[in-house]
């Protein structure tokens, strides 16, 4: 099998699995228990908190453990909205191509009377700091803009946006789920007030994540109960998953440069190879993107058929967000960067990592070329294009 869907989830790393198993076997007490065996679990959490804080240049007491990226996004956004509403500030700025964990939370707030302004994304999949600056108003209570897009991998100018927000005293949250463990994160340099992370996107376990919240960023607990996480997130901690997440992030950060060098070379080769397929287009800026992300549209192709035929060849890929697959709507991300419906339907996301090889990349290129040609040959619409009865949208 060739796994090229690391943006959907990653395989747990050896260090993470070992840390998790050790914890399940030896440190399974309740961290809230007062006896020594429970306190051992508490110590494991404390040490994981310190490790994660060090990876992103935060203070340990600014790290809150959650059930993953979705919960972190929800908590950050709802918290800022609650604080804003108290001051009669109900304007929130975001972008049209956020993850649904952000977009759906904003939709809910809109129904509660908040005004949501979604910035347009440029065709290259990047928004500009000036767009944010122009959108900020006196009643803006939050700017939330993703660090790296989960479908097209484009990286946003977070540090510049953060500087603007700080100057205007508007809280700034970023969904860094695709960025963490893959590109460097320094919450000081980025000028962010809150930042979401999910372990299973960097070789940790599923169902665990982090919300980084700077001391001035007031959190509202969205899960009521015990006093865990300073009363901001109730529920007995998922100790094995938390410990494994710290091990995975630490490992990813230590190997970041070496991994990226390897992955970048593979990505460039993959893009060059797929670019040779006629009537194809790379989605998102070629340079301002995650090292492992490749996303193409192929005219005249239906993304789901492409995926199923690639699956027959043992290649795991995606048409975009795993959350939208199964629905027939084209990706909101591709529509946001201006792809027309007909082209957006034919999308393919390949997200590779350091475990992939040159051989994988060569096999992917030839498999995609073959499948695209096969599907086009079967299509009456494609024949109409070839004999001039219909126009092509993309250039050959």
Ligand X SMILES: *Cc1c(COP(=O)(O)O)cnc(C)c1O
Nearer to ligand X, 149 or 191 (CB): 149
Closer to ligand X at the Cβ: 69 or 162? 69
Please count the other Cβ atoms lying within 10 Å of the Cβ belonging to residue 51: 18
Cα of 23 vs its chain's centroid, Å: 27
In the complex with ligand X, the residue whose CB is nearer, 99 or 289, is 99
Phi first, then psi: give them for residue 255, nearest 5 degrees. Answer: -105, 10
Q: 89 or 201, CB closer to ligand X?
A: 201
Which residue minimizes CB distance to ligand X? 69
Q: How far is the CB of 86 from ligand X (least distance, A)?
A: 27
| Residue 165, CA atoms < 13 Å, CB-side half-sphere | 27
In whole angstroms, the minimum distance from the beta carbon of 387 to ligand X comes to: 42
User: Of 332, 87, 81, 290, which Cα lies nearest the Cα of 194?
Assistant: 81
297 flagged as catalytic: no
The minimum distance between CB 74 and ligand X, in angstroms, equals 9
| Distance from the Cα of residue 315 to its chain's centroid | 21
Nearer to ligand X, 290 or 371 (CB): 290
To ligand X, the closest distance from the beta carbon of 238 in angstroms equals 12
Q: Distance between the two ends of the chain, CA-based, in angstroms?
A: 31
Residues that bind ligand X (CB under 6 A): 68-70, 73, 99, 101, 146, 150, 175, 177-178, 198, 201, 209
- The CB-of-147 to ligand X minimum distance in angstroms stands at 8
Q: Which residues are marked as active site? A: 323
């Amino acid at each position: 099998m060739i796994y090229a869907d690391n943006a959907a989830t990653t395989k747990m790393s050896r260090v993470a699995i070992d840390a998790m198993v050790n914890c399940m076997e030896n440190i399974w007490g309740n961290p809230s228990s007062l006896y020594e065996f429970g306190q051992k679990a508490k110590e494991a959490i404390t040490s994981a908190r310190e490790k994660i804080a060090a990876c992103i240049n935060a203070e340990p007491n600014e790290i809150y453990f959650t059930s993953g990226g979705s919960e972190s996004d929800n908590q950050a956004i709802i918290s800022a909205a609650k604080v804003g509403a108290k001051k009669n500030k109900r304007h929130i700025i975001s972008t049209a191509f956020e993850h649904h964990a952000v977009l759906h939370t904003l939709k809910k707030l809109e129904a509660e009377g908040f005004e949501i302004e979604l910035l347009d994304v440029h065709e290259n999949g990047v928004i500009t700091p000036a767009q944010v600056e122009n959108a900020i108003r006196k009643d803006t209570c939050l700017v939330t803009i993703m660090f790296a897009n989960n479908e097209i991998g484009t990286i946003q100018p977070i540090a510049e946006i953060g500087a603007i927000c700080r100057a205007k005293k508007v809280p700034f949250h970023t969904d860094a789920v695709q960025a963490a463990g893959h590109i460097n994160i320094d919450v000081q340099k980025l000028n962010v007030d809150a930042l979401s992370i999910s372990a299973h996107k960097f070789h940790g376990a599923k169902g665990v994540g982090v919300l980084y919240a700077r001391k001035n960023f007031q959190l509202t607990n969205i899960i009521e109960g015990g006093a865990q996480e300073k009363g901001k997130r109730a529920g007995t901690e998922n100790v094995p998953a938390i410990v494994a997440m710290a091990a995975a992030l630490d490992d990813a950060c230590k190997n970041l440069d070496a991994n990226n060098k390897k992955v970048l070379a593979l990505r460039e080769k993959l893009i060059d190879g797929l670019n040779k397929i006629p009537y194809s287009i790379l989605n998102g800026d070629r340079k301002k993107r995650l090292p492992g992300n490749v996303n193409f549209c192929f005219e005249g192709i239906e993304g789901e058929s492409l995926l199923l035929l690639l699956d027959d060849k043992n290649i795991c890929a995606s048409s975009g967000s795993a959350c939208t697959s199964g629905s027939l709507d084209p990706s909101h991300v591709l529509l946001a960067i201006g792809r027309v419906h007909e082209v957006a339907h034919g999308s393919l996301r390949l997200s590779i990592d350091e475990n992939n090889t040159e051989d994988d990349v060569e096999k992917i290129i030839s498999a995609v070329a073959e499948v695209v040609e096969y599907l086009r040959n079967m299509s009456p619409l494609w024949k109409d294009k070839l004999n001039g009865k219909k126009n092509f949208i993309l250039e050959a």
